[in-house]
Amino acid sequence: MVKRPVWWDFLGVEEDGWSSGFPSFDLVLKHLSRKSKSISSRNSYCYVVWFLCSKLRVNPEELVLRARENPNAVADSVQRIADEYNDAGSVRYANHIIHIVKTFFKVNKVELDLHGYFQPARSRKRPEYIPTLAEALKMADVAGSLRNRLIILLLTFVGLRNSTLRALVYNENYPDPLLQDYTIKKEYERDSKCLIIIVHEIMKLKDPNACKGRVFYYSFVPPMVTECLYLHLSEMERKFGSLQDTHMIFPTGNRRMSLWERLKTPMSARELQEIVKNAAKRAGIKNWKHVYPHCLRKTYESFLRNQPDDVRLDAKEREFLFGHTLPGSQDTYFDKTKIEEMRAKYAKMNFEPSITVQREERVICEDELQTYLQNGWHFEATLPSQKVVVSRKVKVKQSEDATSAKTLHNSDASTQAEKATQLKSRLEPSAPINQSIKLDTAAEANKATIKDSQQSNLREEVDKQKSEELQLSKEHSAKDVEGKETKATRNAKSGQRSILDFSDRKMP
């Protein structure tokens, strides 16, 4: 049986949770039921009214009676309580108390002269630090377990709130028939490469705060994180047997409960906060004490906004994936039913940290052109000296944090990355095109005497490069074959691959 909060019996709340033995408070519950019927809002109202009655040592009926007899005295008492929170720096909560008390007396036909407090739009009592994408990935690498690693990645790439993440169920019973084929269980059975996470108000049955404002939305999990989620589910199946529909994805670790109860109870908000803070500390973040689960939601916002132009979602799509309502009639006309179309757009995004695309140009000899074209370069122009200008687009990682974490946590991948870098460096000609393309005719004549020796050296380097690139291509092909593992193979998988390891991806 779920333990009831302390205010439940004090306020005479009935079994249904939306009626009270005190007529004055019953009016408040009826008002909330008609307005939104939010369990989270109801709990907040109950707590504040209980707290106020406890301070004044009265029940709700006596409080209303006293306010009718001497409204100024009651208003002064409420204002002093709110002043204490305001003086302590909790301006938001002080205004929260004033708003709830005003509503309580308003539905009971009593007007009190209460005043709120000014709070600047960006002021915060609690400092916070927003990790970069590279720092968040490093946090996932050092999180300490497969479950903790998955939690960090879901907060980073899906942007789930604390309560929403904890309320995820293996096979949610969505009332909408269009959503019933998109549960985690069915996506797992289909072996979807880019899994969908649906946030629906039915999740409030597990946690009252799981679907803020009862706003329906969905987001997607990148392929690399989807694989991590499947490994987590496989691990749960090995430990607990076949998963049931009502089992939590992240069950509580409370050992005072039976195993059957634990699997159906979400972890606490405090436990999730500790996982994030400990991961930030291990990742070497200086301000790790100020990293909270909601901070990674802001990392997700930055991730969506800073995508390359060719794959960036438009503003409406980003706001929808973030769980925000669009202004005015835009939300009504936004098409939320094209799930597969949105999934395809999301899968094209760049999930690597801090990568920019730059244009690289080089001057090469004419007989080297074919080799460069085979390696992804493009012909640009022929110079008067009969040399050729070629170019290509290269991805440049601007975050050293991701590279250092990759070296620490995956030495084999790092070795391959260094090898690839050395192979690229051997292709570099003597003069980049970043200098002026205009060549002096007299200078070319002076260099003609050493042209034959340079061409000979370059041919030797190209031949050597061909053999080494062929070997590297074979290694990549073998790795791709190994990566296409079946669900049964994944269940037997024991090691974890660093999420920062992007070295096996080919440059375009």
Q: What is the 3-state secondary structure (H, E, C) of 379-440?
A: EEEECCCCCEEEEEEEEEECCHHHHHHHHHHCHHHHHHHHHHHHHHHHCCCCCECCCCCCCC
The predicted structure's pLDDT at residue 37: 86
Query: How many domains does the structure of the chain reveal?
Result: 3
**What are the structure tokens assigned to 126, written together?**
């609690």
CA-closest candidate to residue 454, choices 436, 435, 431, 437: 431
The predicted structure's pLDDT at residue 448: 44
Beta strand residue intervals within 75-115, DSSP E: none
Assess contact for 454 and 430: CB atoms under 8 A.
yes
| Residue 114 lies inside a defined structural domain of this protein | no
Question: How many Cβ atoms sit within 10 Å of the Cβ of residue 398?
Answer: 10
| Residue 83 lies inside a defined structural domain of this protein | yes
Same domain, 220 and 143: yes
Alpha carbon distance 224, 211 (integer Å)? 26
The predicted structure's pLDDT at residue 65: 94
| Cβ-Cβ contacts under 8 Å for 269 (sequence gap 6 or more) | 162, 163, 166
Same domain, 333 and 401: no
Q: Write out the residue range of the structural domain in which residue 364 sits.
A: 356-491
Enter the pTM of the model. 0.67
The predicted structure's pLDDT at residue 125: 73
The predicted structure's pLDDT at residue 158: 94
The predicted structure's pLDDT at residue 253: 87
The predicted structure's pLDDT at residue 181: 92
> Which residues sit opposite 390 in a β-bridge?
362, 379
Same domain, 371 and 238: no
**What are the structure tokens assigned to 432, written together?**
């980049």
Assess contact for 405 and 285: CB atoms under 8 A.
no
Alpha carbon distance 458, 146 (integer Å)? 48
Same domain, 325 and 363: no
Same domain, 280 and 299: yes
User: Which domain-ending residue is among 89, 107, 125?
Assistant: 107
94 CB burial (10 A radius; 0-12, 13-18, 19+) = buried
| Residue 181 lies inside a defined structural domain of this protein | yes
Same domain, 183 and 286: yes
CA-closest candidate to residue 345, choices 243, 220, 447: 220
User: What number of residues does the chain have?
Assistant: 508
| Residue 257 lies inside a defined structural domain of this protein | yes
Same domain, 38 and 80: yes
Same domain, 338 and 368: no
| Residue 507 lies inside a defined structural domain of this protein | no
Half-sphere exposure of 364 (CA within 13 A, CB side): 24
Torsion over CA of 425, 431, 436 and 442, rounded to 10 degrees? -170
For the stretch 316-328, pLDDT in tens is 999 999 999 898 8
Half-sphere exposure of 446 (CA within 13 A, CB side): 5
For the stretch 425-434, pLDDT in tens is 433 443 343 3
Same domain, 50 and 178: no
| Residue 161 lies inside a defined structural domain of this protein | yes
**What are the structure tokens assigned to 305, written together?**
């906004």
Q: Which ranges of the chain have pLDDT less than 50?
A: 1, 398-451, 479-488, 491-508
